[in-house]
Structure 1
Amino acid sequence: MEHLRGFIFCICFFIIAAMNGSVEASKQFKVGDHIGWQQPGANNTEVYTQWATSKRFHVGDSLSFEYQNDSVLVVEKWDYYHCNINKPISSFDDGNTVINLDRPGLFYFISGVPDHCKKSQKLMIQVMGLHQRAESSPGIPNTPEVGLAPGPHPSSSGIVVTVTLTSVFLALILTVVTMV
């Protein structure tokens, strides 16, 4: 009988430990959704800014750029704001580029086709760490204000539900253990 209680206790301990861990799946985002990566039309110059504000990016996610007769340049902040295509960090022209977001912080992308960046084919995103909360404004000094809303904040009710379920499960296990 004592062995059974010990066994049940060990099983319960591992189940509770597993319930308290959180696992977040990585996501792959298609840049621009249905329009992909292309020079925006004259009436839609904010398309990539609007696209980025509707998403929340985390370390481990990736961006998929789909394009034709174009390219993607990963650039520094200054090069992004000045549409400088001369010294990119990375350059891609394969038509289907996937970029892994491997660190928190700002990432800057522009088209490598001359004048496309100046016509708003550029993207700036904020990547959050695994457990980092988004800020409402990036607070970038000496730059024009860019709408980088991080997306909807998770509600605290999810945490309450998790704690409540864990508490209920723990109470159930203690009840079973004391009955045995």
Structure 2
Amino acid sequence: MNGSVEASKQFKVGDHIGWQQPGANNTEVYTQWATSKRFHVGDSLSFEYQNDSVLVVEKWDYYHCNINKPISSFDDGNTVINLDRPGLFYFISGVPDHCKKSQKLMIQVMGLHQRAESSPGIPSKPEVGLAPGPHPSSSGIVVTVTLTSVFLALILTVVTMDIETLNWSKDSGQSNYENDSPRFIRTIC
């Protein structure tokens, strides 16, 4: 099975309502709109608006509705923004207080579109390589959990061996190891 890149898509932000300050009863409109879509590198967003603007901002500016330090600013009424990298993108209105009234958009962009293709009559060769790793945002957690698990397994192994040795020593009468065991366990923990 070969993968090929699908055609890019252009998404009209907000669909039929476009880019405008949401009504008081519809403050989640852009969040709901974004969660109903799947964005990929190569796609684009079309912002259609009147008497407004679009600011591309950093995460902090998005959450604090800071219009003073945009990465990019547009006020032409019909702005198309190309999604050129995977990751999060943040957009807010440049009109004071519109962002605070929920005119803001955060989207997650995935890698390139992939379409599965297969040549008829020719079985596809299995690809040789490494399995994909964890998602970048979770890799630190995986490493931490793995290292913690290994460390705990090591401690349990040492303690178990220590207890087994203690029991063996008592049964055979070879040494007075039980006085050393608690100190050894205290040192590890």
Q: TM-score range by the shorter chain?
A: 0.5 to 0.7
* 1:53/1:151 contact within 8 Å kept: no
Query: Residue 174 of structure 2 corresponds to which residue in structure 1?
Result: none
Query: Residue 149 of structure 1 corresponds to which residue in structure 2?
Result: 131
Residue 49 of structure 1 deviates from its aligned partner by: 0.1
**Ranges in structure 2 where 5+ consecutive residues have no aligned partner:** 162-189
Deviates more, 1:55-64 or 1:154-163: 154-163
* 1:54/1:151 contact within 8 Å kept: no
Q: Deviations over 1:90-126 (max 9, x none)?
A: 0000000000000000000000000000000000000
* 2:5/2:113 contact within 8 Å kept: no
Matches within 5 A, 1:76-95: 76-95=58-77
Q: Deviations over 1:6-32 (max 9, x none)?
A: xxxxxxxxxxxxx73423110000000
- Name the CA distance, whole Å, in 1 between partners of 2:25 and 2:122: 27
Q: CA RMSD in A?
A: 18.5
Helix, strand or coil for the counterpart of 2:20? coil
Matches within 5 A, 1:20-169: 20-130=2-112
Segments ≥4 residues shifted beyond 4 Å: 131-179
Helix, strand or coil for the counterpart of 1:134? strand
* 2:87/2:108 contact within 8 Å kept: yes
- Name the CA distance, whole Å, in 2 between partners of 1:172 and 1:97: 58
Helix, strand or coil for the counterpart of 2:129? coil
Change (3 A) 1:102 1:136: farther
- Name the CA distance, whole Å, in 2 between partners of 1:135 and 1:36: 36
* 1:56/1:151 contact within 8 Å kept: no
* 2:40/2:110 contact within 8 Å kept: yes
- Name the CA distance, whole Å, in 1 between partners of 2:136 and 2:84: 22
Q: TM-score, normalised by structure 1?
A: 0.62
- Name the CA distance, whole Å, in 2 between partners of 1:141 and 1:78: 50
Residue 141 of structure 1 deviates from its aligned partner by: 45
Residue 133 of structure 1 deviates from its aligned partner by: 13
- Name the CA distance, whole Å, in 1 between partners of 2:116 and 2:124: 21
- Name the CA distance, whole Å, in 2 between partners of 1:105 and 1:174: 40
* 1:137/1:149 contact within 8 Å kept: no
* 1:70/1:111 contact within 8 Å kept: yes
**Ranges in structure 1 where 5+ consecutive residues have no aligned partner:** 1-18
Deviates more, 1:35-44 or 1:162-171: 162-171
Residue 64 of structure 1 deviates from its aligned partner by: 0.1
Larger radius of gyration: 2
Aligned length: 161
| Percent identical | 99
